[in-house]
Amino acid sequence: MADTHSNNNHVPVLFSFSVFSRPSSVPVGSGYEVLIQKFLSIYGYQIDVHRKLVLQYFSEEWGQYIDLPKGFVISEKCRLRLVPLQMDIATLGNLSPATTVFFCCDMQERFRPAIKYFGDIISVGQRLLQGARILGIPVVVSEQYPKGLGSTVQEMDLTGAKLVFPKTKFSMVLPEVEAALAEIPGVRSVVLFGVETHVCIQQTALDLIGRGFEVHIVADATSSRSMMDRMFALERLARTGIIITTSESVLLQLVADKEHPKFKEIQNIIKASAPESGLLSKV
């Protein structure tokens, strides 16, 4: 339960961010820096510190939230909210190993005969997992109802994965995943791949951007039973600001420089081009 009690030195404050609101308290006289740190302590990884943020308080006079005036300090019970501004276009799409996590979604044995070009996306998924191990990037792996659909295919080496978990919900964004993300300091970007594009991949991506993450879907490592479903899902997701990319693009963006100490290991992974399968076709 939040620390809603007050004493002579603390004032109750409602801290709101995105769709969430949590009561807490801060010392009398707390200013901007203390309040920002309080937001970070409450909401943690959900706040993208790379974005510009505006702190506002609820004005009884105006009946709405207004920007915090210069020199503002807490003197009485109030409501505050933190608003992220639009991300600077110059930073959009950048990937760094220190702020990235890989999500591998439902690459299971029972899907093998049903998913279009499943063998190809297994091959590309292997590359991504290998790259993640080389670069020290955390990997989260889901398995949809494994009791009925089986475990992740044996070709996918999950050694070192941060979390492998079963689910029945289509989205991967479950409490245990959010807890795992909270343990990764500064995570900003999620590289997402697996099946099916129009179901679990789509719902996971939408949940992630709703929580402030930048999402990169690896087009050559995701598929569906129907190529039409796949095509329209990727088009829809691209319109929401999700980045549709390829495995080679992701791996090279993560090393960024030929002088990167792991460049040669990554180069060995991509030396042979990824399969040019029917995933290139529209339908």
Rounded CA separation 127/247 (Å): 8
Answer yes or no: are the C-beta atoms of 118 and 218 closer than 8 Å: no
- Starting at the earlier edge strand, list the strands of the sheet with 78-84: 20-27, 10-17, 78-84, 53-59, 64-67
Rounded CA separation 231/226 (Å): 9
The catalytic residue positions are 106, 167, 200
Q: How would you class 51 by CB atoms within 10 Å of its CB: exposed for 0-12, middle for 13-18, buried for 19 or more?
A: middle
User: Tokens for 44?
Assistant: 């943690």
